[in-house]
Structure formats: C-alpha cells, structure tokens
C-alpha cells in the first residue's frame, strides 16, 4: 500500500479516536451509553408545572438528606462501554476501538516501510526488479 494511503488511514484513525473521546468527555464521561428518555422527560416536565413537592420546600422535610431528591440524568451520554445490542451498542469501545486499530495498523505499516531494506512501499516494478 502506498505511504500516503497509510498516512491518510493513520490520520483518519486518530481523528476517530480523538473525536470519540471528546464526545465521551462532553457527555459526562459515563461508563455505559444511555439515551434520552422522551417519556420520562415529558413526565418530569408535567411535574414541573405545579409540582406537589414544591409545596414542601422550606418545611425542613429535606434537612437531614441535604436537599430535594435528585433526578436521574436523562441526557444522551456516550459511555465507555456499550449498554445493549441495539442503538445502545454505540460506545467509546466500539467507535474508538476500530479507529485505534486502523491507526495502529497504518502507523505500523509506515514504520515497517521506513525500516525495511526491501521496501514494501516501493512501486511494484521496483519490487520486481529487486527480486530478479
């Protein structure tokens, strides 16, 4: 394979890995991938308008627990690991893994080409002439 193709594959692989890690970081560094639950969001939005719980703010009922009950996060998060076979299969491992393999394979190929006396990157006619 020509060196510029290997270099292009290397850049592509590194880009995939970096972008995946950036997305993992931006979505909360979750261990497992999760998706937004529209049903739960609608229920929470309905509860926001005139929540019964609001009536008890300032009554001291939450004083021992240090605040109101925390809600479960409900935003998309790219996890380090997949959390299911369907759309939950997307994760840092399944995205950056293949990206890293492509990058490693390309990098290894480039190194090998540079070091090898019988260059694997040389044009075919040259290889043939060397074999003769």
Partner 1 sequence: MAARHTRWMVGMAAAAMFAASGIAAAPRTEKGMTLQVPAEHASMGKVYYVLPGKDGQITFTSDAPLEHIKGTSNRVVGYAIAPTDASTTGALMAGEFVLPVASLNTGIPMRDEHLQSDRWMGAGSNPDIVFTLKEVKDAKVAKEDAGFTTWQVTLVGDMTIKGVSKSMEVPARITSMPESEKTKARAPGDLLAIRAEYAVKMSDFGVAKGDPAMESGKVADEITLDTFLLLSTVSPEAGR
- Judged by CB under 8 A, does residue 68 bind partner 1? yes
- Judged by CB under 8 A, does residue 88 bind partner 1? yes
Of 22, 41, 53, 101, which lies in the binding site for partner 1, with binding defined by CB under 8 A? 53
Window 111 to 130, contacts with partner 1 (CB under 8 A): none
What string of DSSP letters covers the chain? --HHHHHHHHHHHHHHHHHHHHHHHHTT-EEE-B---HHHHHHHHHHHTT-TGGGGTTTTTTTTTTSSPPPPP-S-B-EEE--SSSGGG-SHHHHHHHHHHHHHHHHHHHHHHHH-SS-SSS-HHHHHHHH-
Number of shown-chain residues binding partner 1 (CB under 8 A):
34
- Judged by CB under 8 A, does residue 91 bind partner 1? no
Binding site for partner 1 (CB under 8 A): 31-34, 37, 40, 43, 46-47, 50-56, 59-65, 68-74, 83-85, 88
């Amino acid at each position: 394979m020509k060196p510029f193709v290997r270099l292009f594959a290397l850049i592509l692989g590194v880009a995939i890995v970096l972008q995946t890690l950036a997305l993992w970081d931006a979505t909360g560094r979750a261990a497992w991938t999760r998706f937004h639950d529209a049903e739960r969001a609608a229920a929470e939005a309905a509860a926001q308008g005139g929540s019964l719980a609001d009536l008890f703010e300032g009554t001291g009922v939450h004083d021992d627990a240090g605040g109101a009950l925390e809600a479960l996060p409900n935003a998309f998060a790219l996890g380090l690991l997949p959390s299911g076979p369907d759309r939950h299969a997307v994760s840092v491992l399944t995205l950056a893994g293949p990206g890293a393999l492509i990058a490693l394979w390309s990098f290894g190929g480039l190194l090998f080409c540079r070091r090898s006396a019988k260059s694997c990157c040389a044009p075919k006619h040259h290889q043939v002439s060397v074999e003769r």
